[in-house]
Each structure stands twice: as structure tokens, then as C-alpha cells.
Amino acid sequence: MSEHVHRDDFGARLGMWLFLVTEIVLFGGLFIGYSYMRYKYPVDFHHGGAELNATLGVINTVVLLTSSLTVVLAIVAIQRAEKKRAMAFLSTTLVLGVTFLIIKSFEWAAKFHHGLYPSAPHLATLPPGEQVFFGLYFTMTGLHGLHVIAGLSVLSVMLWWVATDRIRPDRYIHLENSGLYWHLVDVIWIFLLPLFYLAA
């Protein structure tokens, strides 16, 4: 019992934020590339945006925003020692994250069906600006999708740790840091919605 355990929750959060900074710069570079290309091909980007399903984009935005809320509520629940409620919030987050991916897969499947996928023969017949638009669309939503999968994996572990009391009211930094990651995934999507789905 008297064994000294070193803990530095602020250091852990700072480390997580520094990692998130690299993520912000990664996506930031892509956003800057997008801006230049949209400036160069405004009409083609308009046409490209018209091909996307804005309704699905908006639904997925609501899904991710809500999943962000449930993560942060799970942290409040843990702080208040409401374990069952925390697990319910985290489970809801996981369900919402999977829902996001399912909607995304339907959307991508429809694009593939219309001959719109990276290196597709049909894509090569489109104007250069539209090719760039779909290149950026698949790169950025694809990279974002990988982040959703990573976030869901980490949050699944968090749910397990809450269930097994490894995350407790006096020790929940892992849950906080996982939540930070999930919120950043949400923030990236907040930018992807108007850049692609509302571009038309």
C-alpha cells in the first residue's frame, strides 16, 4: 500500500495534446492543399461537391457531434463515480462511431458504383479539377475514417477498463486522453462537411 506510484496527469494530457498538434498539422496541410486547388478550380469543385450526398454528410455530422458529447459525458460520470452511466455513455459513443462508418461505407459504395474511386477509368475522363476534388475527397475522408477506426479501438479498450475498474473516479486520465483524440476526429469532420459536402 505504501508503494509510491508516480503520477503526472497534466504531463499525460500535455503529451496527448502534443500528439494532437501533429494531427492538426497533418490535416492542416491537406486543408491548405484543398484551399489552393479550390481557388484554382472553383467550377470543378462546385461540380464535384454536387456529386456528393450532402444529406448523408449532415447526418454523419450530427452522429459525430453526438458521439463527442457522449464521450465527455462519460468523463463527467466517472468523476461522479457513476460507473454504469459512464459505461452507457461510452457504449453509445461506440455505437455512434460504428454508425458513422456504416453511413460512410454506403456513401463510398455509391461513389464506387458510379465509377468514382481512386484511379478509376471514369475519373480520368473528368476535368482535371474534378479529378483533384475526388482525389482530395477520398484522401481526406479516408484518412479521417482511419482515425475513426483508431478512435473506436481505443474507446473500446476504455470501456473495458471502466468495466474492470482500471479507470476509476480517482484515476481517469486514459479516458480523458482517449476523449481528446475522439474530439479531434470530430473537429476534423466539422471542417470536412462544408469543404466537400456543402461545396456545391
Partner 1 sequence: MSEHADLNTVQQPEHPAEHPGYGTFIKVWVALLILTAGLVGMSHVSQTYAVWGLLTMTPLKAGLVFYFFMHLKYEGPLLKIVILVTLGTLLIFFALLFSDVAFH
Q: Which is nearer to partner 1, 11 or 127 (CB)?
A: 11
Q: Which is nearer to partner 1, 54 or 101 (CB)?
A: 54
Which class for 82: exposed (0-12), middle (13-18), buried (19 or more C-beta within 10 A)?
Answer: middle
**Binding of partner 1 by 76 (CB under 8 A):** yes
Q: Of residues 14-73, which lie at the interface with partner 1 (CB under 8 A)?
A: 14, 17-18, 21, 24-25, 28-29, 32, 35-36, 39, 46, 54, 58, 61-62, 65-66, 68-69, 71-73
Which class for 103: exposed (0-12), middle (13-18), buried (19 or more C-beta within 10 A)?
Answer: middle
What is d(CA 29, CA 188) in angstroms, rounded to the nearest whole number? Answer: 12
What is the grid cell recorded at 156?
A: 473500446
Residue among 126, 158, 165 at smallest CA distance from 47? 126
**Binding of partner 1 by 183 (CB under 8 A):** yes
CA 111 to chain centre: 20
Q: Which is nearer to partner 1, 28 or 115 (CB)?
A: 28
Binding site for partner 1 (CB under 8 A): 10, 13-14, 17-18, 21, 24-25, 28-29, 32, 35-36, 39, 46, 54, 58, 61-62, 65-66, 68-69, 71-73, 76, 79, 176, 179-180, 183-184, 186-187, 190-191, 193-195, 198
